[in-house]
Structure 1
Amino acid sequence: MRSPDTRRYPRPEWLQGVGMTSQRTRDRMVERLARQGIADHRVLEVMAGEPRHLFLDEALAHRAYEDTSLPIGHGQTLSQPWIVARMTELLREQAPTRVLEIGTGSGYQTLVLARVVTELWSVERINALHRRAGERLRLLGAHNARLRLADGGHGWPEAAPFDAILLTACASTLPEPLLAQLADGGVLIAPLAEQDGTQRLVRVRREGTRFETQRLETVRFVPLLEGVIR
């Protein structure tokens, strides 16, 4: 596969990475994602151009482009590259303009979303992660991403309705406020726990007062929790 053109993402040398964090390593990650079925060239281009290693502690940076999730502290993880790409690809199928992300986490998924949508709102419940993500996103110029420290289950009501909502933690049931904040015709992409304890990615589409759910791949996410940790 031909690697995406990353010249549109000029970076200082210290941001580009070296060795296991280099552009060559990102290109290999993108080639793997394509083999795994990610077909959206814009998603692949963005992930080839953005320094995922900056969203991890320095001790783990050399593992940033492996096909695995990695810890970011506070019991949270940075999702594996494939799930970031897959959820972004599913969201882009709707061509959304206004998007809400629940669970900013490290900020990497937020950055990828910010590169492919016009307006992005992202909510995080853990203050240390919220602040760190904000610093990284400002450094990388993701100026269309608005961040808030809050309980994600409540969404961002004053900015609603949203064309799409992306939930990056697993819920046992989808929070009603999030469904209410979907625009008519909008979609919610989320991991959802099933009765046997497995998790499955779902796509929920709003049609007036009806919500149609499509079950997709099995996945593994940290649980969606309530409350704010300051």
Structure 2
Amino acid sequence: MQPQPIFTFDPESAKAAGPAGASEGGAYAGIIKTAMFTSARDTDSQSQSMEFALDADVGTINFLRVSYIGRDGNPLRGGTAMINAIMGLTNVKALHATESRNEQGETEYHCKELEGKPIGFVLQKVLYTKNDGKDGYRFEIRQAFGTKTRKTYKEAMENLPAEVVDKLVASLTDKDERQHGGAGGPAVSGKQSSMLGNQQNNQPQSRLQQNAGGRNQLQQQVPDFDDDIPF
């Protein structure tokens, strides 16, 4: 008897060989796989963020963070505007934090209203120095857009042509924050609670737990911002 094969050739699967996820900046459309509220692990920082994972054609793009509270505890206008734009494009009126436990037993605060929603992001590649001194890269959200129209929230609401995304992509360059590059330093992501197993230790998100009563809902207040100026 001939043994059963472990694999049977699939030409479509063969075409997909290679690293998953984005490797360069650009415009990516997909479905929000996870949306989570995070807080800084650094006790000297009061920063608060939302972190997204996007299921796109290139694969899952993880660790897309939008900060809406700065280290000093003050609201960040650009981050707040971006979250409101995402809410507007996905037709969500309010965001709530739903507490859950991940596989490591750590507390996470998911935003169920956004998970599963279609969205497009313009991502800028950011080069940084890892804790071990090696080079790494991450992505920053520079703009959000509708997956069907390719319009920003402002373009959709004001019945404008879809131009902002293409103009922004055409002007995108990598941001260099490597230590030897001058401008920045190591990525700040190591100092924040992060979804999908990127935690540096098993500390709970204590600041979010302490403030859950007052900060677990973000009402939509579409700000007066210019989509032609990326965040």
The bucket for the TM-score relative to the shorter chain is under 0.3
Q: Which has the higher contact order (CA 8 A, sep 6+)?
A: 2
Q: TM-score, normalising length from structure 2?
A: 0.25
Structure number with higher strand proportion: 2
Q: Which has the higher helix share?
A: 1
